[in-house]
Every structure is written in structure tokens, then in C-alpha cells.
Amino acid sequence: MNTRQLFQQYLAQTSPEPVGLHISAASGNYLIGADGKEYLDLIGGISVCNVGHCHPKVVKAIQQQSEQYLHIMVYGELIQTPPIAYAQRITSHLPTELNCVYFTNSGSEACEAAIKLSHRISGRPNIIAANNSYHGHSMGALSIMGSEYWRNAFRPLLPGVGHYDYNSQEMIDAIDQDTACVIIESVQSEAGIIAPNQEWLKALRQKCTDNCTLLIFDEIQTGFGRTGKLWGFEHFDIVPDMILLGKALGGGMPMGAVVTSHAMMNTLTHNPVLGHMTTFGGHPVCCAAGLAAFEVLFEEQLIAQVAEKEQLFHQLLVHPSIIALRSKGLLMALELKDNKTVLAVLADCLEQGLFSDWFLFADNCVRIAPPLTISKDEIRKACDILLSAIEKNN
């Protein structure tokens, strides 16, 4: 059997037609195929590789930590320097009330932990989430995902979850004394990059405060400089009660996290003890890699460059067939007429050495979320290829 056949034979498949590109290496802003062909990466592992692939400082941190110890005990029982150092660094860049970190293995697991924590703190039954929201595929996260297409096949799910349109008054009106939490993305990513209205967000914050309802921001795709600020919520002059992290958190290694106050997090320590547990959460190698990547964001001033790079995409991506280019920093959706066109454009881009993808709830849009390390010349190259593919498939 060839490699593709082995891939399909021995690994669980998640779609009937995977891209199936055989990658043998990745470096900087490029993926390298088994045949040696290079592909400029326009999606960065779905907002994971914010500092590029195999950044030397991240690789060095992994090597150094792996020589000291790997897994030694389940989360929270032994003192380990890497998770302490990383949690301290993260919280130093957050409002003072967001001062305690619970590391998980993924963003989905962070979502699960947040759901449990919100019920534990409030004792309330209901959760409010947004239509066209994405928070992961585990059962709790799936319950609050804003699409019946993905939810329906796996029912029964969590009860008491209400879905309302993002930016709607209906979501605000639905918050009451039975609402444990509201979970929203600081920018809706899989919906095709939909930003919240600031006044709406402030009204949502106030309604949550008035009802002692937790406001949880999913920063899994928007965090770590993706939007032009370290955290997406910083654009909107509000502070959530809890944030969820993942994707770029590990610098390319698998990680997630919940960040909230000590007072709220400490409810997991009693009645019952070990109220939430994870074997590999806060893995020392992942934390070392994540901390190294976090430092690179500042050392290379990558966040400060996002707005200018975003603007360059807007200047270059002009074509009659482009319906819209929505963005929040280097989180962008290039809207075309339909999914058929998007798939044809993506296939043509791949032929020309450019790798991209689409969105779960906006399959008529091309995803643009490159490593923040992408250069201006590489942006020009990417836009030339995109425009060529759009013209060919117009």
C-alpha cells in the first residue's frame, strides 16, 4: 500500500475526502511535502503556529525540558517549574482578577472544565451560547456549539443550553437567575470572522454582572496576538470572568487552559476533592514550548506587526469575485460566491504551493490565518496566488 492508503487504513478518518497532503517537514511559514515541494502556510495549523513552525527557541525549549523530565505525575500533585513559570507569565498579561490557570490538553477540554466550574460556582442549570459558535467536539463543548448539523447526530447532549444570535438583544434578554454562564468567542471564528459590537458586548457584560452570571470568553483561536492584541477581549474594553485558551498556547504542542480567579478555581478542591482532574494537563514539555513561543511574540514584536500585515492583505486582495474580506488582525475570511468555488480555489492554490482551508459555518469563505511571522513578501506571494486561483475559477 502507498502512504495515502496506509493513512486511510490505519488512522480514523474525519471526512470522506481529506486533503491528504503528505508532509515530511515544516519550518518557519512553510510546510514541506514528502516530494520536497514547499507550501506557504496560510492557516498556521488553524491558528496554532503563531510563531511559525519549529521556531528555534521553541525547539530548544522542548529539547532542554525533555532532557530533565517528561510526565511524572497527574496534574496538580507535584511542584513542576514549567507550568508555574508559564502560568505566571500568562497572568502577568491579564487583568488582576484573571490570576489562576488550570492547564488542560486542548481547547475542548478547557471548555469542558469551564462548564463544570460554572455549574459548581453558581449551582444553576442553564448555559447561554451563540449560534454559529465553535468550542470543540467533546460532549460538553458540542452541546454549546452553535450548529444543529453537528449536534444532532450525537444527542442526547447537555440539557439547559440556549443558543442565540451573536450580537443580538435576544441573547442579553435570555440571561436570568437560572443562567450559570454565557460562553462566547471574542470574535466568532468558524462563522467567517464576525466581531462583536462593542456596545452589545458591554450590555452583555452588565447583564451578566447584574444576574451574577459568569461571562466566559473563548480565546482559543483569538488569543496570543492573532487579532492584533494579545487577547481578543482587549479590543472591547471589558473583562470576562473566565477565558479559555488553546491552539497557539502550546507553541505547536497540545495544550489548553482555563484562566479565572483563585476564588472561583478553588471550588474544585473540595466537595468533592479533585473536582476536576487531568493526567497530562500542564505537561512540562508543552509548558516549556508554550512559554518559549509566548516570549517570541514579544521578543520579535510580532503582535505589533499584525495591523500592518492585515492592511496589506486588504490592499492586495481586490477582485470582482471577492464578496467580502472580513478580518480581525490576521484572522481573516475571504468570502466567495459558494463552497464549490472555494474548494476549486483552494485546490488551485495547493497546486501553486499555497495551503489554506475553509470554515465550518462559512464554507463559502477561504480561511486566512497565517503564522504571525509571515513576511510582507510572503503576503504578496500568497495574494498573487489567491487572485490567480480566483480568476481561474471565476
- 1 pLDDT exceeds 90? no
85-102 pLDDT, tens digit per residue, is 999 999 999 999 999 999
pTM: 0.96
Do 313 and 284 fall within a single domain? no
Do 41 and 98 fall within a single domain? no
For residue 237, the model assigns a pLDDT of: 94
Edge to edge, what strands does the sheet with 23-27 contain? 23-27, 30-33, 38-41, 354-355
Of 267, 298, 329, the residue that ends a domain is 298
233-277 pLDDT, tens digit per residue, is 999 999 999 999 999 999 999 999 999 999 999 999 999 998 899
- 394 pLDDT exceeds 90? no
Look up cell 503576503; give the residue: 379
For residue 14, the model assigns a pLDDT of: 82
Grid coordinates representing 267 are 471550588
Do 38 and 99 fall within a single domain? no
Of 268, 298, 328, the residue that ends a domain is 298
Q: The domain that contains 178 carries what CATH number?
A: 3.40.640.10
Which H or E run contains 31?
A: strand 30-33
Q: pLDDT higher for 330 or 77?
A: 330
Do 120 and 269 fall within a single domain? yes
Provide the angle, in degrees to the nearest 10, between the axes of the packed helices 302-316 and 284-299. 70
Q: How does 382-391 read in b/e, with b if 16+ C-beta sit within 10 Å?
A: bbebbbebbe
For residue 330, the model assigns a pLDDT of: 98
For residue 3, the model assigns a pLDDT of: 85
Return the percentage of the chain with pLDDT > 90, whole number: 93
Radius of gyration of the chain (CA): 21
- 324 pLDDT exceeds 90? yes
Mean per-residue pLDDT, 367-374? 98
Q: Indicate the Cα dihedral angle 140, 143, 149, 153, nearest 10°.
A: 70
221-241 pLDDT, tens digit per residue, is 999 999 999 999 999 999 999
Task: Output DSSP code: residue 116.
Answer: H
66-88 pLDDT, tens digit per residue, is 999 999 999 888 999 999 999 99
CA angle 105–137–83, rounded 5-degree value: 15
37-66 pLDDT, tens digit per residue, is 999 999 999 999 999 999 999 999 999 999
Do 165 and 286 fall within a single domain? yes
Averaged confidence pLDDT in the chain:
96
Do 203 and 108 fall within a single domain? yes
Do 218 and 307 fall within a single domain? no
- 15 pLDDT exceeds 90? no
288-306 pLDDT, tens digit per residue, is 999 999 999 999 999 999 9
18-44 pLDDT, tens digit per residue, is 888 999 999 999 999 999 999 999 999
Of 280, 298, 316, the residue that ends a domain is 298
For residue 236, the model assigns a pLDDT of: 96
Domain count, the chain: 2
Do 208 and 329 fall within a single domain? no
Do 294 and 311 fall within a single domain? no
For residue 348, the model assigns a pLDDT of: 97
Whether the CB-CB separation of 125 and 160 falls below 8 Å is answered with yes
Task: Output DSSP code: residue 249.
Answer: G
Do 12 and 159 fall within a single domain? no
Whether the CB-CB separation of 230 and 93 falls below 8 Å is answered with yes
Question: How many angstroms separate the CA atoms of 259 and 101, rounded?
Answer: 5
For residue 195, the model assigns a pLDDT of: 97
For residue 12, the model assigns a pLDDT of: 85
Domain region containing 316: 3-54+301-392
Q: Which amino acid, residue 304?
A: A
Provide the angle, in degrees to the nearest 10, between the axes of the packed helices 376-392 and 339-351. 120
Q: The domain that contains 370 carries what CATH number?
A: 3.90.1150.10
Do 198 and 66 fall within a single domain? yes
Do 162 and 237 fall within a single domain? yes
Residue 58's SS3 state is helix
